[in-house]
Structure formats: structure tokens, C-alpha cells
Amino acid sequence: MLNYKIYSAGGFVESAAVLEVRNPFDHSLIATTCLADEVILNKAIIAAQAVRQEMAVLPSYKRFEILRYISDQLKVNRQRLAEVLAAESAKPLRYALAEIDRSAQTFLIAAEEAKRVPKEYMSLDWTPNGTGKEGIVKYFPIGLVAGIAPFNFPMNLAVHKIAPAIASGCPIILKPASSTPLSTLELAKIIDTTELPKGAVSVLPMDRKTGNQLVTDERFALLSFTGSPVVGWEMKKQAGRKKVVLELGGNAGVIVAASADLEKTLQKSIMGAFSYSGQICIHAQRFFVHESLFKAFVEGMKAAAEKLRSGNPLLADTEISSMIDEENAKRVESWIHEAVEQGARLICGGKRQATFVEPTILVNTKDSMKVYAEEVFGPVITIEPYNSIEEAVKLANNTRFGLQCGVFTNLVSELDYCFMHLEVGGVIHNDVPTIRFDQMPYGGIKDSGLGREGVRYAMHDMLEPRILVK
């Protein structure tokens, strides 16, 4: 049986609290690792503090080389890493491979951005007393970063915290999800072979109680959390003096206008709706389709959903597999039942076997149903018709979340209206909201989060300006 040590203070260590990691698809034991206790965590914090200055003065070419090396290693080990990832998360291999590729790309971007940490130079002679004066603004690493990553992109969402931290010169302690710690521990092995100061990065699975120290401990200068809204907002309250970045979820909308190309729209929509069983922050959950296309769209989605190949995530042609655990699968099932009981009509799917939930399409839904109002984080979508673009935007905005929204249209006036009025962090034209490029600013408004990630944007929060007035 494989055993993964955890990565603390520059070394691989063990604790007494063994953690079994199982494949959600067949519940087989993949490997064991352990949970960091307070002693291990404290050592990691002390080690991170100790290398803070060394990290801060690392020349940019060194940060570049380290980050590019990690990027290259991810590519070299692509297949093996994707298999680990697929096994622990039940993410179909094709998507697991894509995630490793994206992680390599994210490290590459960070490598390049390490050389481009912002600097400003400004006139201060806007008033007589500033005559001859100028300002030079340099950005310094903020200090120790606490990162908490979720199960659904166990590699890339951890990378979106680790890579910018290294690029910024900040030590980081990252807590992966307890269900999916293996990819990140594989990454730790790569990081350990670089020239980074020992202790600059620690990867520590923890139980919730120990992990909460990442939130409350004042030695951290920044908490970067990706996960559920309820947990995230509670953390903000407990975070003390540190800065907080929250990447939470949503119930993303998709608008399909009359001028949309139906074939292409269906192709993209099926991916946004059901890839990784909808366990994606920007899962395309609520579709609003112009009434002229409504019937065709619902039929098209039904046909496509029923054709999705389900099964073992480690097989190359699997398109949809299990959810992360039975608890969540049951929750999703119950939400579907609630909706149907309250009047929704089931177009397809709706059934659960163990951790697997069928791709499910609902129409006639209401904004009071959980499948509409909450983040379903499962393979369930709602489709409703609309009449005017103003109505479509109103429907899409009718939620406490605001992450991203897809808009399929070929009219300039409609696209402009959507960009101006959709209350979200991102509007995606002619595609589902389930799109994210790793260099772009990514994050939500309203209950969907606070701040932005995307390498350069994540770095912004890890840096502190200091002006020299001269």
C-alpha cells in the first residue's frame, strides 16, 4: 500500500493520525497519508517565518527558474499525476490530464510574472510643495500565506495559491482537502527538489480543528480560501488582522439568445452542465433560453445528456463518473426530489446509485427551489425560457451569488447589455461560464467571494506597496 508523508518545514514527515484516501468511484483504498497535528503545523509556521527574508530577496531570475522547473516537471509526469488525481477525485482521466496541463501553465505564468512584479514611479509635483519630488513604489511580499484548497480541482486550485506565493516571495502553508490530498503531495515532492528555501512551502492535510489555525493565527498575513460560501464567510469573521481572499461557489447562469448558433451552444452547454458531475465552482447550473429556441434546446440537451459515457474515471473515454462522496450524492438527489415535489419537471436523469448521480435536467423550476437558489455542485441543471434580454439578465441576477455567466448571442446590443448589467465577476461570450483561463482575473461578487485569483491578480494580494518619496 502506498503511503504519502506530508510536507512540513522542508521535510516529509508523519503523524499518528492516519488518513485513508479512497477512490470515490469504487471506494478502493488508493493510499494512506496523515493529518498534521498542531506540533507539525507550528513547526511549519516557524520554518516559513524563518525563510521569509530569504524568500523576499530571491532575485526574479531564481523565482523564474524554480517555477519553470516545477512547470516542466508537471509536464514530464503528466500521465502519472493525472492518474493519481483521477483516482482520488473520481475525475474522468481526460479532465484530470487537462488539469495537470493547466497546473503546468499556471506555474509557467507565475514564472513569467515573477519577473514582472509591479513597480510604480510617479510625479509628486502636482502642488507647489511637491516641486522636484517623485514617488517610487515597490511591492514587497506581504508575509506568510495560508492557503486552503478544495477537492474539486485538487491540483490546480492549490497551484493557484502556491505559484503566486512563490512568484511574490511569500512562504505558504497549504491545506489540501482531506479527500484529495495526494496530487498536492505529489506536487510537494517536485517542489522539494528545487532551490526554494526549505520551509517556504508546506503541504499539510489537517482536520478542521487544526486547519482552523490557518484562519485564526496572526502569524499569517493572508488567508486564501477556495471552498464553500458558508465556510468562507465564517472564516472572514475569525480571520483577525490578516487579509482574506475568498473564492466561493455559485449557481452560474447561461443565457441563450435567439441569435445563438444552436449546435455550438449545445456542444458547449453539455460540457458546462455535466463535466466532473457539476462539481465545479463555475458549473453551468441555470440556463435561460430565448423562447424561440427553448424547446429545441431542451431536447438537444436531453439527447446529449443521455449519450454521456459514465463509469470508471481512470478509463480514457469516460465522460462522467461518481461524485466525491455519498453524502453529497444523497444531498443532490434530495434536492432533485424537492424540486420535483414543488412542481419542477424532470427531463432526464434524477436517479442515484451510490456515489453516482445521473445527468439531470429540470424545467418549470422556481427560484425558491434549492436546485435553483443554491449551489447544487452536482450534475443537475435547470432550463427556463425568457422573452427579452432584459428579462434574461434579471433572471440570471436573481440569486445571492455572482461568479460567472455565459451568454450565447450574436447581437452587439445584447452582449453590451449583458456585460453592463450581469452582476458577476465574469461574462463569457458564446460559451458556458465554466471557462477559466489561468491568467485572467477570476472571482465572484455578492456571496460568491471576495477578491480575485488568476496569477497576477492573486499576486496583487500577496504584495504590499511601499513608497519612497524623494
Q: Which is nearer to a second copy, 178 or 259 (CB)?
A: 259
Which residue shows C-alpha cell 448558433?
261
Q: Among residues 61, 250, 222, which one has the least CA distance to residue 143? A: 222
| Sole binder of a second copy in the list 2, 18, 46, 130 (CB under 8 A) | 130
How many alpha carbons lie under 13 Å from residue 457 in its C-beta half-sphere? 17
How many alpha carbons lie under 13 Å from residue 14 in its C-beta half-sphere? 8
Asked if residues 96 and 85 have their Cβ atoms less than 8 Å apart, the reply is: yes
Is 281 designated active site?
yes
| Sole binder of a second copy in the list 32, 49, 60, 212 (CB under 8 A) | 60
Which residue shows C-alpha cell 436546485?
371
Specify the stretch interacting with a second copy by CB under 8 A; choose among 156-164, 306-314, 364-372, 415-423: 415-423
| Sole binder of a second copy in the list 27, 80, 115, 307 (CB under 8 A) | 115
Asked if residues 157 and 179 have their Cβ atoms less than 8 Å apart, the reply is: no
| Sole binder of a second copy in the list 119, 307, 309, 345 (CB under 8 A) | 119
- Segment 200-239, which members bind a second copy (CB under 8 A)? 233, 236-237
Residues 138-177: x where in contact with a second copy by CB under 8 A, - otherwise, as a string: x---------------------------------------
CA dihedral 187, 192, 198, 201 (to 10 degrees): 0
12 binding a second copy? (CB under 8 A): no
Asked if residues 452 and 441 have their Cβ atoms less than 8 Å apart, the reply is: yes
Q: Which is nearer to a second copy, 122 or 296 (CB)?
A: 122
| Sole binder of a second copy in the list 127, 263, 316, 341 (CB under 8 A) | 127
Rounded-to-integer distance, Cα 66 and Cα 83, Å: 25
410 binding a second copy? (CB under 8 A): yes
Rounded-to-integer distance, Cα 157 and Cα 148, Å: 9
400 binding a second copy? (CB under 8 A): no
> At 248, is the secondary structure helix, strand, or coil?
coil
Rounded-to-integer distance, Cα 228 and Cα 251, Å: 12
Q: What angle do CA 264, 266, 267 make, to 5 degrees?
A: 65
Is 186 designated active site?
no
- Active-site residue identified among 88, 247, 358, 375: 247
| Sole binder of a second copy in the list 14, 37, 72, 112 (CB under 8 A) | 112
Residue 280 in grid coordinates: 465545479
- Segment 427-446, which members bind a second copy (CB under 8 A)? 427-431, 435, 437, 439-442, 445
- State the nearest-atom distance from the C-beta of 439 to a second copy, in Å: 6
Residue 325 in grid coordinates: 462522496
| Sole binder of a second copy in the list 30, 50, 124, 308 (CB under 8 A) | 124
133 binding a second copy? (CB under 8 A): yes
Asked if residues 333 and 322 have their Cβ atoms less than 8 Å apart, the reply is: no
| Sole binder of a second copy in the list 137, 354, 363, 373 (CB under 8 A) | 137
**What's at 260, amino acid-wise?**
A
Give the number of residues in contact with a second copy, rule: CB under 8 A: 70
Q: From the CA atom positions of the chain, what is the Rg in Å?
A: 23
Q: Which is nearer to a second copy, 28 or 123 (CB)?
A: 123
| Sole binder of a second copy in the list 28, 241, 316, 341 (CB under 8 A) | 241
- State the nearest-atom distance from the C-beta of 420 to a second copy, in Å: 8
> At 280, is the secondary structure helix, strand, or coil?
coil
> At 279, is the secondary structure helix, strand, or coil?
coil
| Sole binder of a second copy in the list 21, 389, 450, 462 (CB under 8 A) | 450
Rounded-to-integer distance, Cα 268 and Cα 241, Å: 43
| Sole binder of a second copy in the list 20, 134, 291, 317 (CB under 8 A) | 134
Q: How long is the chain?
A: 470
- State the nearest-atom distance from the C-beta of 270 to a second copy, in Å: 16
- Segment 66-105, which members bind a second copy (CB under 8 A)? 102, 105
> At 426, is the secondary structure helix, strand, or coil?
strand
- Active-site residue identified among 281, 333, 384, 418: 281
Q: Which is nearer to a second copy, 39 or 419 (CB)?
A: 419
| Long-range CB contact pairs, 211-214, < 8 A, 24+ | 211/148, 211/175, 212/238, 213/38, 213/41, 214/146, 214/147, 214/148, 214/173, 214/175
> Which residues are at the interface with a second copy (CB under 8 A)?
59-61, 64, 102, 105, 109, 112, 115-117, 119-128, 130-138, 233, 236-237, 240-241, 243, 259, 409-413, 415, 419, 422, 424-431, 435, 437, 439-442, 445, 447, 450, 452, 464-470
**Catalytic positions:** 247, 281
